[in-house]
Amino acid sequence: MSAYSKTEAKEWAREVYQGLDTTHLPCFTADTLELDEKGIRHDISMLAEQGFFAITLVSGGEAGTTLEEDKRWVRWCVDEVRGRAGITMNLRYYTLAENIMMAQLAEELGCHSVMISYPSNFHARSEDEVYQYTKAICDAVNIAVILFPSVKNDFPAPYRVSATTLARLAELPNVVALKIGVLEWTWIDECFRLFGDDILISYPFDDAWPTMIGKYNMQWSGAAPWHNMQTADDPRQVNMFKLIRAGRMDEAGALYWQTDPIRKAILSIAMPSALMGMYNFDQWKYCDELFGLTGGEMRMPKMIIHPWQKHQLREAMLASGFQPVC
């Protein structure tokens, strides 16, 4: 049973969406690259101990999984997390019918929310087409919805989806949040100005947290792999976000600069492809492995991480005060 009704979703989110939302990639067996239930349960349990209020699954086929595999994967995650954190399912399936079906499954299984991340074959040619596609998913479920317009979308609207259209979507009762996926500051400011009081907007990079929290009173950040810069014993990112919200900027700054080597190494490898709409999941997996998660191979097609980049990440982790487990 859901913790909230559809009309209560916004109020529920304002109470629950406090802090950081991390990410989780599927784990695959080394030999056949089948879903690794043991590895998935291990990782989701470790993430649940790090102080995140939610964990977003990189589902929707983005990590090489099929729709049927995603059904098993999300079921295992909800079962394993046992209420220690919420589970969000990413919706980026190829058809509207599939996205609606998986949103309904997420609601049935007890996920926190779903995030609408439009598929690569959805080429909207008007603002209203984006609105109607999104509304159809929202109307079909009672579960909370996070909007995620990004550089991955091929839409004609200014900056992929205009703030005006997003403001219309923010009026829907179960739309509770927006993850910023377009680094265009005029657009970002317009989003906060037009509907920042109605839904919770997240900027998923920690460099601008002081500005986003101080100027816009941002109360959550994600979904992003924050667990690649902290551990359960040293939940540095979670603590830094809390310190900034409390106005303890000197303490927050000390944590930021302590973590800067691993932050810079991650971004130097990740950003070139991310700006073209593709994430280097092999990099994410290698960082997972360094921090004691399952790690391992991803399926093709994929980007690769070179040995010298692995060395760069490992040395940056040491420079940030973490001890790699491998």
Please report whether residue 254 resides in a domain: no
* Residue 12 resides in a domain: yes
| Range scoring the smallest mean pLDDT among 1-5, 180-184, 199-203, 294-298 | 1-5
| CATH number of residue 131's parent domain | 3.20.20.70
What is the C-alpha to C-alpha distance for residues 152 and 63, in angstroms, rounded to an integer? 15
3-state secondary structure 115-156: EECCCCCCCCCCHHHHHHHHHHHHHCCCCEEEECCECCCCCC
With bands split at pLDDT 50, 70 and 90, how would you rate the model's confidence at 2? confident
Which tens digits make up the pLDDT trace of 232-250? 999 999 999 999 999 999 9
In a domain, 284, yes or no: no
Number of domains in the chain: 1
Establish if 318 belongs to a structural domain: no
The answer to whether residue 285 is domain-embedded is: no
Residue 204 lies in a domain: yes
Within a domain: residue 81? Answer: yes
pLDDT of residue 53: 98
Structure confidence at residue 157 as a pLDDT band (50, 70, 90):
low
pLDDT > 70: percent of the chain: 99
pLDDT above 70: residue 1: no
239 inside domain:
yes
Domain that holds residue 154: 6-248
